[in-house]
Amino acid sequence: MSNTVALNNESHRNLKVITRRGAEYGEGTHLVPVVANELRNLMLEYPVCITKDPNTGQFSLCALLGFEPGENLYLQGDSWDAQYIPMHIRRQPFMVGYRNPEAAVGEERGAVITLDLDSKRVTEEGADGERLFDDQGNNTPFMQQVSDLLGQLMVGMESTTAFLSALADNDLIEPAHINVQFASGEHKRYEGLYTVNEDKLQKLDADKLVYMHQHGYLQAAYWLGASMGQIRKLIQKKNQK
């Protein structure tokens, strides 16, 4: 359970947020949501796959961090063994909320930054952590970075929905059959993950290819497909562990 509230510079002026990595902060997970805007960076570090909500059929993008629930092979104690950390990890314990979430089309929803007060990252005591506001109630440089990150994440979530819709509309999503063998000799097959059908992508007619290219979906689709090569890195990390 979380205790999520809208952030303000009066009641939360003395709060700090611990920024170090660690499983105790909810980072011990084998799947993390990502957005299409990150694919250029993600593909160099992580396998990125498409997941499907079994209840709604809605597709999402996720980076694969491990092979078992709760297994993050990139997390080494309080450090993260990668040059790039997904935005969803970096934005914790903040998120965007809305004052008027039921607003009609064209109406202002009133976006606000929210904070999970029950997060282990949130503290008022000790030297650990980054302050959110200075003594005058102004945003600290850290809080400005958080605001910028959440802005990028909001834009990314919208573009990701459009990207995945374009893939689905063109029948470009297919199951990713992941078969792995670990150094122990154990074989495993992972289901429920999806990727891009690159053969179908290459055979799209000219108009659709132009549309995909103009919206940045073509390059994103190739980045997504190429990222699955990082499964080998993940297997290596598992074997070393």
In a domain, 151, yes or no: yes
Q: What is the mean pLDDT of residues 18-30?
A: 94
Write the burial class of residue 21 (CB in 10 Å: 0-12 exposed, 13-18 middle, 19+ buried). Answer: buried
Q: Given a cut of 90, is residue 35 above it in pLDDT?
A: yes
* Tokens linked to 49: 């796959």
Number of domains in the chain: 1
Mean pLDDT, rounded, of the chain: 92
Q: How many CB atoms lie within 10 A of CB 100?
A: 11
pLDDT tens-digit readout, 215-228: 999 999 999 999 99
User: Can you tell me the mean pLDDT for 195-204?
Assistant: 94
DSSP string covering 27-47? T--SEEE--GGGHHHHTTT--
Structure tokens at 238: 């598992």
pLDDT given for residue 164 in this prediction? 97
Convert the pLDDT of each residue in 139-159 to its tens digit: 999 999 999 999 999 999 999
Residue 16 located in a structural domain: no
Residue 115 domain flag? no
For 37-54, b where at least 16 C-beta lie within 10 A, e where not — what string? bbbebbbebbbbbbbbee
Is the pLDDT at 162 greater than 80? The verdict is yes
Whether residue 171 lies inside any domain: the answer is yes
Nearest alpha carbon to residue 62 among 221, 193, 201: 193
Dihedral of alpha carbons 125, 130, 136, 138, sign: negative
Does 128 have pLDDT greater than 90?
Answer: no
Q: Are 143 and 133 in contact (CB under 8 A)?
A: yes
- For strand 178-181 and strand 59-64, is the pairing parallel, antiparallel, or unpaired? unpaired
pLDDT at 105: 63
Confidence class of residue 132 from pLDDT cuts 50, 70 and 90? very high
Q: Is residue 58 situated within a structural domain?
A: yes
Determine the pLDDT at residue 115.
94
Q: Is the pLDDT of residue 120 over 60?
A: yes
Domain boundaries, position 75? 23-92+137-240
Q: What is the pLDDT of residues 177-197, one digit of tens each?
A: 888 888 888 888 888 999 999
Asked whether residue 103 carries a pLDDT value surpassing 70, the answer given is: no
How many angstroms separate the CA atoms of 72 and 163, rounded? 27
User: Any idea which residue has 């509309």 for tokens?
Assistant: 169
Would 37 be classed as within a structural domain? yes
Q: Are 19 and 130 in contact (CB under 8 A)?
A: yes
101 pLDDT higher than 70: no
The answer to whether the bond into 54 is cis (omega within 30° of 0) is no
28 in a structural domain: yes
Residue 131 lies in a domain: no
Report whether pLDDT(1) > 60. no
Q: What is the pLDDT of residue 97?
A: 84
State which amino acid sits at residue 146: V
Predicted structure pTM score: 0.90
